[in-house]
Amino acid sequence: MKALVYLGPGKKALEDRPKPELAAPTDAIVRLTRTTICGTDLHILKGDVPTCQPGRILGHEGVGIVDQAGPAVATFKPGDRVLISCISACGTCAYCRKLMYSHCTTGGWILGNTIDGTQAEFVRIPHADMSLYPIPDGADEEALVMLSDILPTGFECGVLNGKVAPGSTVAIVGAGPIGLAALLTAQFYAPAEIIMIDLDDNRLEMATRFGATATINSGDGNAPATVMKLTGGRGVDTAIEAVGIPATFELCEAIVAPGGTIANIGVHGTKVDLHLEHLWDRNVTITTRLVDTVSTPMLLNTLRAGRIDPKRLITHRFALDHILDAYETFAHAGSTRALKVIIEAHP
């Protein structure tokens, strides 16, 4: 089968690989129909994720059709259309019992990290009963790909951890796909203001269409002052970091109001300074999280009811044969205006 393989920092290739086989009775083999590229895949290619070793097939998102199901898989059978969760969960370990599926002792974020992932024609899914979701009849598969990772990530790590509430003020630093997913799902809670901050005017324009009440291009270095002006000098109740670099986290530190929350989503590959000399007396909460995907069933229902349209995040489509072109497009979003790219494996 064809697969996108990580070969070390800065290196990747489309290779022929053997079709995966069942390794445990709880496994399923899924034939991919659609997958995508995540910002985390770019972090891997930068060398920011040492758990992902050269030779690994990348990707942790997608939809497809069950090709094989192990004898202990009770919920799915060959031919079923499924959504693949970016998080694999056994459902029985101590962390799973706390609904912290991201820290499952035999799962968590393993796809495209410590086991082969979804940017291929087939993928092995451990703990299939807990790690797959049936696709409702008539559902749009492209929209569902957005529920593998970015929508639950933006919602759980940003909106829920950030304690977004009716009438509150929210700033989202980073208007890429994850930041825009946080923007879409923050509106479930009717905050009074959602301020999007980014360096890319195209993405800020997109954020306005998606519901942002104000946008700030931080390229002039005056974003903190602009936020303070917009909030009457108070700052924001929730600052969501959706990039994963020191400058954006420190920007969140500068704009959070007393009693507010900094909710980190970004994947950080280098250290960040925590300015306690400014924050020690401000009753600020800082949260970190890897998505647990506990919200996926709710988001599926919301999508089915037409309350959210994640397909708006999709800007480009490629065949799996052209996934290297897709990576170039996604990695140079400033010039290509890419948000999410869809890769068709078996259209």
What's the mean pLDDT in 104-112?
98
What ranges do the domains of the chain cover? 2-149+292-344, 152-287
Percent of the chain with pLDDT over 90: 97
Nearest to 85 by CA among 45, 48, 30, 46: 30
The CATH superfamily holding the domain 152-287 is: NAD(P)-binding Rossmann-like Domain (3.40.50.720)
The HSE-up count of residue 30 (CA atoms within 13 Å, CB side) is 36
pLDDT digit string, tens, across residues 282-338? 999 999 999 999 999 999 999 999 999 999 999 999 999 999 999 999 999 989 999
Question: Hey, how many other C-beta atoms are within 10 angstroms of the C-beta on 329?
Answer: 19
pLDDT in tens, 270-280: 999 999 999 99
Q: What is the amino acid identity at position 294?
A: V
CA atoms of 307 and 18, how far apart (whole Å):
41
Per-residue model confidence (pLDDT) at position 137: 82
Tokens of 142: 């492209």
Identify the DSSP state of 9.
Answer: T
**DSSP letters for 53-67:** -TTPBP---EEEEEE
CATH no. of 2-149+292-344: 3.90.180.10
Residue (of 151, 245, 232, 249) closest to 193 by Cα position: 232
> What is the pTM for the complete model shown?
0.95
pLDDT at 347: 63
